[in-house]
Amino acid sequence: MNALPYCRKEVIGDCTLYLGDCMEILPVIGKVDAVITDPPYGINAARARNSQKWRWKDYGGGEWDRERPSPELIKAIVLKARDVILWGGNYFSDLLQPSQKWLVWDKGQTDFSLADCELAWCSFDGAIRRIEYSRSKAIQDGKQHPTQKPVEVMSWCLAQIPKAKIILDPFMGSGTTGVACARGGRAFIGVEIDPGYFEIACDRIRKAYAQPDMFVAAPKPEPEVQFGLTLEGGDA
């Protein structure tokens, strides 16, 4: 049995959220059907963006994107499921196996100061797929994290793995993957190390369940928040 010295856990409907370091929490989470995640790329995206020219929002500073996750952590994530969708795959190409399957988020604007598109590496085979979702629409999607993906993009990711029932995101951030799962009737496990973003993720997922899609089952009752958890392997 593996135990964590301290962990906060929230269960909201079919979403189980952990506040803590994913390197410590991953070993006590059993196998899942799929991983969909957007790790830090190590490009210092946490820096304040307050350009008047581009009207960037200032999200404040932080050290979370000073460097990319360790090779050991990327390996641990990839081994958690057969189906893995890892955004920023081009930043981890030296750590990932060659793949014919990539997902492309086309932001509908070229020659911008940032990338025209983003790439996701997939652990499973298939044709390359692309979604076009404009940068301006993404900003209007209630963006609360500097690298937050639109809900529509993450829902599109879920559509690539229709049989996966339990989805893990070890870098949950503001919880967009969890929102997409709540709306799409999938179970979700999320891990976030930053307390502020953890609270944002909890709030967004609660709101997603409060306004469910018509074909999504109603959430189960929420247990109380737990502190100082002892978690057993395979019991997510």
Determine whether 227 is exposed, middle or buried from the number of CB atoms within 10 Å of its CB (0-12, 13-18, 19+): exposed
Q: Considering all CA atoms of the chain, what is the largest pairwise distance in Å, rounded to the nearest integer?
A: 54
| Separation of alpha carbons 35 and 29, rounded Å | 12
The pLDDT profile of the chain, 236 residues, written as one tens digit per residue, is 455 546 799 999 999 999 999 999 999 998 999 999 999 986 555 554 444 443 444 444 555 546 789 999 999 999 999 999 999 999 999 999 999 999 999 988 776 657 889 999 999 999 999 999 886 675 666 666 666 788 999 999 999 999 999 999 999 999 999 999 999 999 999 999 999 999 999 999 999 999 865 444 444 444 444 444 434 443 33
Angstrom distances, CA of residue 164 to CA of 25, 112, 143: 21, 35, 27
**CA angle at residue 169 from 233 to 149, to 5 degrees?**
175
Instruction: Note if the pTM is more than 0.85.
Output: no
CATH superfamily of domain region 8-210: Vaccinia Virus protein VP39 (3.40.50.150)
